[in-house]
A and B are shown apart, each in its own frame.
Chain A
Amino acid sequence: MSSRTIPVRFWLNGLPVERAVPPERILLDLIRDEIRLTGTKRGCDLGTCGCCTVLLDGVPVLSCLTLALRADGKSVTTIEGIGEPGRLHPVQSAFVECGATQCGFCTPGFVLTAVALLREHPHPDRETIVRAISGNLCRCTGYTKIVQAIERAAEAAP
């Protein structure tokens, strides 16, 4: 097996990671099962729910459909990389205050999608928000409070 592995170096939430992975290793599996950062959720494994969203060089992608070696030389941000110790990111605070979490399983994906959205569009209109989150599935909230939370986070932004 070892001859099949490929060295991969990337930044994970600001810290360097070096691994040797077989080519078929999926980024989600590397993050969850090997590195054991479990905030990134496995909802469907087929790109149809968005629970496994991570930021790859700041862009939200589906980690269940990304080969780990694609992270080589890049920066990967998972939900654990959002916010500061003792201080939630404004998107996270807004999700808490608005009750945008229910079961919470889709929440990390939504938060990452929203963080990336607000970096690109600090003051998005509702339609832009709805389009941006249209790859993340939520079964609990009807999206209403998620949209509200993103609007509130945008209002809080300078």
Chain B
Amino acid sequence: MSPATASGSPYRLLGGRIPYVEGPLKVTGRAEYTDDIHRSGTLVGRVLRSPWAHARIRSIDTTEARSLPGVAAVLTGEAYPTPFGVLPITHDETMLAVGKVRYIGDMIAAVAAVDEPTAERALAMIRIDVEPLPEFSDPRTGLTRVPEPIHERGLLGSNIQKQVLQHFGDVDAAFARAGATVRVRGQFAGVTHAFTEPLVTIAEATPDGRLTVWSATQVPHYLHRTLHEVLGIPMHRIRVIKPEVGGGFGGKSDPLPHELACAALSLATGRPVKMLFDREEVFYTNHGRHPTQNDVRIAAEADGTLLAYDIDTIIEGGAWSSFGTVTTYYNGVLAMGPYRVPNFRYRGRRVYTNKPPSGAMRAHGGTNIRYAVEVGLDELAEQLSIDPFDLRERNALPPHSTTVNQFRITSTSFRACLRAVRERSGWASKFRRLPYGRGIGLGCGFYISGSNSPIHFTPKMPQCTVHLKADMDGGIAVHCMQADIGQGSNTLMAAIVAEVLGVDLERVHVQRVDSDVSPIDLGSYSSRVTFMMGNAARRAAEGMRRQLVEAAAALLGYPAEQLEVVHERIQVRHRPEVGVDFMGALNRAMEAGGALQSSGAYSSPPMGGTFKGARAGTAPAYSFAAYVAEVDVDPETGVYRPTHVWAAFDCGRPLNRLAVEGQIEGSIHMGLGQLMGESMEYRGSRLMNPSLLDYKIPMPGQMPEIEVLLVGEDDPEGPFGAKEAGEGPLVAILPAVANALYDAVGVRCHAVPITPDRLLKGIDVRRSAGRPWKGE
């Protein structure tokens, strides 16, 4: 183990194992999720979905549905034509279909009724006349001008939503002089978040002219803005509350049409309305990882020094833009670490299809390209007879460097990650030395620690603000719109405040996200919360500490600079027996003006180049990972199981080891799901498996033994040296296992998921070509 993992923390709480502050509520069933909230007189909201993949709406007749007793409102799209979308530049969604439906499951109408059966009867009474249109289920058919594009805004009459063209250096020249080249043509099925808590929203319009919305969201602020934009109500009359959220992983990060429809139903009826989706509807809402085809060529010198990447990628967007413009960039630019690559060319195209929308999912935009690159590097190492570790060591980006596309790399402990897993996994005695059917593989990772490019905001506005209040009860209330969706951000925020103030964690009370009182944070996406909220919380707490220290200075008769904050006490540094406890200092401080308040904010510094798209992928810091996986393959069936994973991760200083381990273990599980069998299975435009039975999330018996190695050093700008640990941990596991499969049976799999039948086909091909592997 490197010294960093063994060394003790200089902090009282941070760096330890801090149980989640809401844990006792969750283990007793007392944590309150949106569906647990009961508002008196609540109506049931349901939506009518399109059974057509692509059709023009000629007319909708809701007369009969409206007259059904028990039905309070029936809404259709024409009354809410304002387009919206999570990115301000691609507003192409409407609350309910206007003019066209674009996928099976698209929302056409919304009903509020006294109960579910009545609402469903009403939906069945809505008459729709449509003109079916040609449907696009394969993105490749939408790359050129088509007679009926899915959206009018497609590039030159095609279904291309976004095209990115970038070229740095001279890629063709690099390939011309390369000592070795490899090519990976990756194919990736779409996967979805499949959080356990279904999508659910409650809206309540009240006679005071206000609208309150409770929703299972990970971006309360974007929901707040979108409600304002689509419903035409000033933001200050809308109140958004985020109760406990049962997982998000990116799937609750777009403002979603049902959240708007639920609010519109409440405004139309004057009563609270609850809209709870069943599991099939959650699958249709999707916004999961894009189905992807990438073509990645890598050039290197004969000694393994990387020369160039040449990447051409098509990602399938489904019906809406969502985060897709960002995804299109990410699928290229996130290839730019953790190695130095002097020449880089990328063409990325995101294409609309008549399927549920793709969007942001954990390790957004970084997963599939990382797979292709890391599998490619494994092939390159073999071609050059270089150990995969040596190849990566040779090319690792050093600390405080700049990539060819002008990413600013500050801290990186990538080399330490490599060293840690190389040693702990016993690599030297296993690689290519395990018997046929057993294998070991290396995969590495790189991810943004918070997007530098905030959505909706000018760069001058903070990306996060935290407010503190301390009063006579000795408790400290923390307000911030950062969204804890299970990752432990409330715990971290409380621990940072307690650390700075020197108080017990139990004094710190994180308040529920409520737009009336929570200062804005942009939400849980782009792995930004630890870095941005952490810095804001630290600054807020430091502001309060100054007030307390000044009060103590007045009380003790020593200058403030001679005082130190220790556990629950402020004392004179050279005379520790002279001091005042926390309550004493607080009471004194409040004499001046009552309860103490303090505010802290974070804005990321200016960075990135000036070319088109230069900000995509810029971040105030990056995480790094090196994973080794060991697998057992049954060569007769193609069934395989990862048995061990050594996961070295650089998140800077881990502030809560319990939570960081949890993120890494959970990421490995989710990544293994995508690798081993999860797939949004389509026939034509039809989703075949919209259920938790047929969408194959791995079960405990499929999980490997995991050893987590945290080897980061302090990041210069991260809070207490920390960087992200929520998304980066996912990307390395897929190529690590794929490369281990190669080591086991000599089969390269460029198509994901690697199902047993696919692996078996590869084994067949190898055998029929007369190429035995490892003494097979």
Contacts and interface: CB of A to CB of B under 8 A. Distances in A.
At the interface, is chain B mostly helix, strand, loop or mixed? loop
B253 to A, nearest CB: 14
Contact of B198 (A40, A42, A96, A133): A42
Interface in B21-43: 22-33, 35-36, 38
A102 B491 CA distance: 11
Interface string B641-685: 000000000000000001101100111111000000000000000
Contacts of B196: 41, 43, 49, 51, 103, 105-106, 137-139
A134 interface: yes
Contact of A44 (B30, B245, B279): B279
Contact of A137 (B28, B33, B692): B692
B29 A80 contact: yes
B670 A92 contact: no
Interface string A121-158: 00000000011011001111111111100000000000
B486 A45 contact: no
Given A104-B486, A108-B29, A142 B666 contact: yes
B27 A95 contact: yes
B246 A103 contact: yes
A112 B215 CA distance: 27
A117 interface: no
A104 B491 CA distance: 14
B165 to A, nearest CB: 37
Interface residues of B, number: 56
Nearest to A40: B29
Interface stretch (B175-183, B451-459, B541-549, B700-708): B700-708
A30 B386 CA distance: 64
Contacts, number: 170
B592 interface: no
A137 B697 contact: yes
Contacts of B487: 102
A7 interface: no
A56 interface: no
Contacts of A58: none
Given A39-B28, A45-B278, A139-B249, A99 B661 contact: yes
A17 interface: no
A45 B280 CA distance: 11
Most buried by A among B23, B24, B662, B665: B23
A98 B26 CA distance: 13
Given A92-B28, A142-B669, A102 B691 contact: no
Given A39-B29, A45-B278, A97-B19, A141 B669 contact: yes
Given A134-B700, A140-B247, A101 B23 contact: yes
Contacts of A80: 28-30
16 contacts: A37-B29, A38-B33, A44-B692, A45-B278, A51-B196, A78-B29, A99-B661, A101-B20, A101-B27, A102-B20, A103-B247, A104-B244, A105-B246, A105-B486, A107-B26, A142-B703
Which 3 pairs across A and B sit closest by C-beta, in order of nearness?
A39-B29, A103-B486, A105-B246
